[in-house]
Structure 1
Amino acid sequence: MLLALVTTIGAGAQAQAAANDAEAKTIFEKFIAAQNAHDADAVKAMLLDSPGTLLFARNVDTRGRDAVASRFKEYYEGTWHLEPDMSKFRVAVISNDVMQVLVPIVFTRGLPGKPPQQNTFLISQTYVQDSSGWHVASIMPVANTELK
């Protein structure tokens, strides 16, 4: 009886982990698609509506949904394209309402009128679920892209 209970709980936990991975992957891919389409409105809609929403990039701390969306809109004025390595996509479930993803991404970016350059970063995004669904609460690139 105990073995059956443990097996059932274990199977349930594995199913929940797979569901979380799939949900996080769907959110992430939708966010990347909006970024690559340079759709600032779609990106903004995916951001958590909070003054604490964070984008830390290029040594600048940008906080708040509107400010983060505006920052992305500035990036879209030049070259901006993201290619994540989904084979290395990882999800950490923090709680029922918080998940964190890590994935290496090749950024092709350049200022308007300047030649683009490519760099790879490990991107950390935190997702928070509220009454209207999952939202991106923080985005932080890390120069070291090795997941161990």
Structure 2
Amino acid sequence: MSAHLTRRRFGLLFAGALLVSGSAFGANEDDVRAVFDRFITAQNAHDVPAVRDLLLDSPSFLWITRGSPIWGREAALKRFEALYQGTWKLTPDNGGLKVIVLSDTAAQLFVPVMFNVGAPGQPAPDAPFLMNQTLVKTASGWRVTSILPIPLPPPNPAPVK
């Protein structure tokens, strides 16, 4: 076989591999977005069993809330359950949602969200956050393994004219 034919076959194989891997990553991105959509729906419905199904069942699951780490799925669920007694609503800016596929089994998600949280019977002001999640693919599908919200400063008031 000539060197030219060998290089051509190698090039075709390489291009095919890139197409396959790109479509696999694209499928993973869609799957991660779908998990995030289910996460938002479950959070806003205060649906603890649905949230449980989306979080990685591991003591290394991490949620940072108000500057404090909560380790483990069960500890996080207890905290969510307590917070659900009041106002708890997440409104993502899906136009700003970005999924970074790190591998076939790991992804990072970033999205601006408006967060409303308040004690029972108390007003729940708007609080802008940048939501970061890490997801891993398990035998049961994609699961959230970390939730790292970053609070944003309040917007500057409009100038007085």
Normalised by the size of structure 1, how large is the TM-score? 0.89
Q: Is the counterpart of residue 17 in structure 1 residue 25 in structure 2?
A: yes
Give the whole-Å Cα distance in 1 for the aligned partners of 2:117 and 2:63. 17
Paired residue secondary structure (2:90): strand
What's the counterpart of residue 156 of structure 2? Answer: none
What's the counterpart of residue 124 of structure 2? Answer: 116
Deviations 1:92-123 (A, max 9, x none): 22222211111111112211121111111111
Give the whole-Å Cα distance in 1 for the aligned partners of 2:122 and 2:152. 26
Any gaps of 5 or more consecutive residues in structure 2? 1-7, 154-161
Task: Give, as a single letter, the amino acid of the residue that structure 2 aligns with 1:63.
Answer: W
Task: Give, as a single letter, the amino acid of the residue that structure 2 aligns with 1:106.
Answer: M
Paired residue secondary structure (1:83): strand
Normalised by the size of structure 2, how large is the TM-score? 0.83
What's the counterpart of residue 134 of structure 2? Answer: 126
Is the CA contact (8 Å cut-off) linking 2:24 and 2:104 kept in structure 1? Answer: no
Give the whole-Å Cα distance in 2 for the aligned partners of 1:103 and 1:82. 11
**Structure possessing the higher radius of gyration over alpha carbons:** 2
Is the CA contact (8 Å cut-off) linking 2:62 and 2:145 kept in structure 1? Answer: yes
| CA RMSD in angstroms, aligned pairs only | 1.6
- 1:51 aligned to 55, 59, 79, which one? 59
Which is further off, 90-99 or 27-36? 90-99
Any gaps of 5 or more consecutive residues in structure 1? none
Count the aligned residue pairs: 145
